[in-house]
Amino acid sequence: MGIIRQTSALLLTVLLTLASLQSSEAGQRGIELEINGTVAFGDLVEPDDGSFKQGVLVITHGTLAHKDMELVEALQSALAERGVASLAHTLSLGVARRDGMYDCATPHRHRHEDAVLEIGAWIAWLKANGAGPVSLLGHSRGGNQVAWYAAEHADSGIDRLVLLAPMTRGPEGNAATRYQNRFKADLGPILSKAKALLAHGKGRTMMELPGFLHCPNSKASAESFISYYGDEPRRDTPSLLTKVGVPVLVIAGSADTVVPDVVERVRPLADGKKIQLQVIEDAGHLFLDFFIEDAADLIAEYLKAGG
C-alpha cells in the first residue's frame, strides 16, 4: 500500500508491509515501514480487550537505541495491561532494517532532526489504517524529538504528549565539557572544522573523530556532527513546551544522573493543566524494574483522562 503525505514541505513516500513475524506476546504485530527508501521496524502492541483503533501511543526511544530495549518493551507490556495500545518504532538513523543498538563501527550520516520526519511517517501510517487518537511518547533524546515534532506540526492532529526523562540543553559550555570528559578532546576545533566543510558545500564529508554520541573513535559526516553538537535551541526540550499546542506530561526520575535538571527546568512551566510534571522518587534515567510500572500508571491515567 502506498501512502503519500506532505510533512515539513518534504514528500513522504510511505510503503507499508505488515510483517508476518511470529510473536510470543499476544496482541503484538511487527510492522515494516519504508520511509523515503529506507525500511524501519515497529511493534504494535494492543491490549487483550482493545485496539489501536480506539487510540494509540507512539513510542520513540533515546540516543542510538531501538524499540526492543528493556525500557520500551517493559513499558509496552505494562501499558497493554492497563488497556493502552502502543506502537514502538526503531529510528532508522540512515540504516535500512536497523535492529538493536546502532553499530558504532558504522559511519554516522544521520541527523538529530531526521527523527521528526520518521515520527510523522508512523503517525501517517496509523491514521491511514484507522487508528483512534494518536499520542506521542519519547524517552531521553526521543523526548526532545517528539516534542520537536509536536511544536512544529500543530496540524498533525496528535492528542497528547508524554516526555519520559526528556533531553535538555544545559548552560553554554556543558557540551564541550561533556565531550572533553568522555573523549578527552576539545569540541570547539572539531565543530569549527565541520562548520567550515558545511559552508563550502561539503557537509557530507566524513570526519575522523575522537568520539560521537556514545561511540568512541568514530566517523561522522560534517552535517551529522553539526546536527548533534552545533547550536540548536530546539534540542532543549523545556524551551519547546510552550510551543506545543497539546497537553504535555513530563515524567522525571529523582535519581536521574543523565538529565538531572529535568525537574528544575520543567517545574516553572508546569501549570498542572496544559503542562504537567510528575516525579518518580528514586527512579533513574531508564526507569528499570518496578519504576516502569509507576511510569505506566501515570501514563495510562493521563491518556485516559483525555479520552
> Following DSSP, what letter does each residue of 143-174 receive, concatenated?
HHHHHHHHHH-TTS----EEEES-----STTH
The Cα-based distances of 254 to 65, 115, 116, 242, 280 in angstroms read 23, 27, 28, 23, 6
Tell whether the model's pLDDT for residue 22 goes beyond 60: no
Length of the chain: 307
The residue-averaged pLDDT of 197-209 equals 97
Tell whether the model's pLDDT for residue 1 goes beyond 90: no
The Cα-based distances of 14 to 32, 35, 121, 131, 152 in angstroms read 10, 5, 7, 16, 20
pLDDT at 13: 39
At 171, the pLDDT band (50, 70, 90 cuts) reads: low
pLDDT at 307: 55
Task: Express each pLDDT in 232-288 by its tens digit.
Answer: 999 999 999 999 999 999 999 999 999 999 999 999 999 999 999 999 999 999 999
Topology given in CATH for the domain delimited by 2-170+236-305: Rossmann fold (3.40.50)
Tell whether the model's pLDDT for residue 18 goes beyond 50: no
- Residue predicted with more confidence, 222 or 6: 222
**CATH 3.40.50.1820 region(s) of the chain?**
2-170+236-305
pLDDT at 137: 98
Model pTM score: 0.91
At 172, the pLDDT band (50, 70, 90 cuts) reads: low
Task: Express each pLDDT in 39-94 by its tens digit.
Answer: 999 999 999 988 899 999 999 999 999 999 999 999 999 999 999 999 999 999 99
What average pLDDT does the chain have? 90
Query: Is 41 within 8 Å of 89 (Cβ atoms)?
Result: yes
pLDDT at 15: 42
